[in-house]
A = this chain, B = another copy of it.
Amino acid sequence: MPKRRTTQADVAAVAGVSQATVSFVLNDRRPAGVHISADTRQRVLDAIRITGYSANPVAQRLAGGRNQILGVFTYEATFPGGGRDFYGPFLVGVEHAAEQLGIDILLFTSARVVDGRRRLTRDGWQRLGIADGCLLLGQHEDRSELQHLLDTNYPFVFIGKRVSEGGRLPYVGADYVSATRRAVERLLEAGHRRVGYAGDMGSDQPTTDRWAGYRDALRAAGLGARLVPEDDPDAVAAAIVEQGLTAVVLAPERDPEELHDALRRRGLEVPRDVSVVLLGQPHHRLRRPQEWSGFVIPREQMGARALLLLSRLVAGDEVADPDLHRLLECTDVEGATVAPPVTALAP
């Protein structure tokens, strides 16, 4: 027989007051001239301790209050395909921040999966209402879903840059553009002049930003962009040889160690013959992660910052634009895969 939860009414009975009084003491709030004496207040607090009361978050929500629960909605289904390796670090940051803030995290794992992707359908969206607010993670498609989110005034924050809906989407992202620019500049300073970009050319934000940083850095040096769109490592290696590239920047969807092996099969060594810079953590598990030059996305920090922002939005704080659309700096990694080109031109 499941013992019924302790309610405010129970506490009130013990303290010899009304349920409303308990609620006022708990929320430490006195709207419209409600007064609670120190004595009564203490009696209620004692009763709470005695009964071991804690609020029913569901009822809190229904009555229009907050319940110290923030949700996390991941668009991409976490399985299969090692997606976890990608989202895990964000969650670590989220969890860390949640611990500091004393709130619980609700993972919306129940959303229907359509085409390997979770959907925020109309009824899926309704479930979000359990939490005070929600973090959104991953690539999404449906603009109308976002519009709906905005319309309902439900607090949410994207993890990852989102420029759309008239800039009304709050997010915490990573500054891919300048990180990529710095990566390319590093190659240019080493003397490279034929620098390729190896990766898919999607229209997603990270890809767009990486490409923009790459192109800008080259353009500033009076050089042209060279895309290496091939997927197969050996094809990439072949393209590098064919285009006479001395260096490539590598998008995370490409496995650097496979490229390394493919180059070696053609007698090319990294970084002796080809310098390689990683644009963020590769999606693959590496045998020797520390050796690669490039930058890392501060995922944990992003998760933590996003949760902090969300909690401010939930609290109803006015948040100005620099905080609503925050880009965090990526951390450059020295590594050992950048060297001057063999055929370096004289400066």
Contact = CB atoms under 8 A, between A and B. Distances in A.
Interface of A: 1-3, 5-6, 52-59, 61-62, 67-69, 77-79, 84, 88, 92, 95-96, 98-99, 102-110, 113, 122-123, 125-127, 129-130, 151-154, 287-288
Given A54-B123, A122-B54, A98 B109 contact: yes
B95 A109 contact: yes
A52 B123 CA distance: 6
17 contacts: A2-B153, A6-B126, A52-B123, A54-B127, A55-B126, A56-B126, A57-B126, A58-B129, A59-B62, A78-B95, A78-B96, A78-B99, A79-B96, A95-B109, A99-B109, A104-B107, A107-B107
A84 B54 CA distance: 29
Given A57-B126, A78-B95, 20 more contacts: A3-B153, A52-B123, A53-B126, A57-B127, A57-B129, A58-B61, A58-B62, A78-B92, A78-B96, A79-B92, A79-B95, A84-B88, A98-B109, A98-B110, A103-B109, A104-B107, A104-B110, A104-B127, A105-B109, A106-B107
Closest 9 CB pairs of A and B: A54-B126, A52-B122, A98-B109, A2-B153, A54-B123, A105-B107, A58-B61, A104-B110, A102-B110
Contact of A95 (B68, B95, B107): B107
Contacts of A110: 68, 98-99, 102-104
B99 A79 contact: yes
Contacts of A107: 95, 98, 104-107
A62 B204 CA distance: 41
Contacts of A6: 126
Contact of A62 (B62, B99, B125, B154): B62
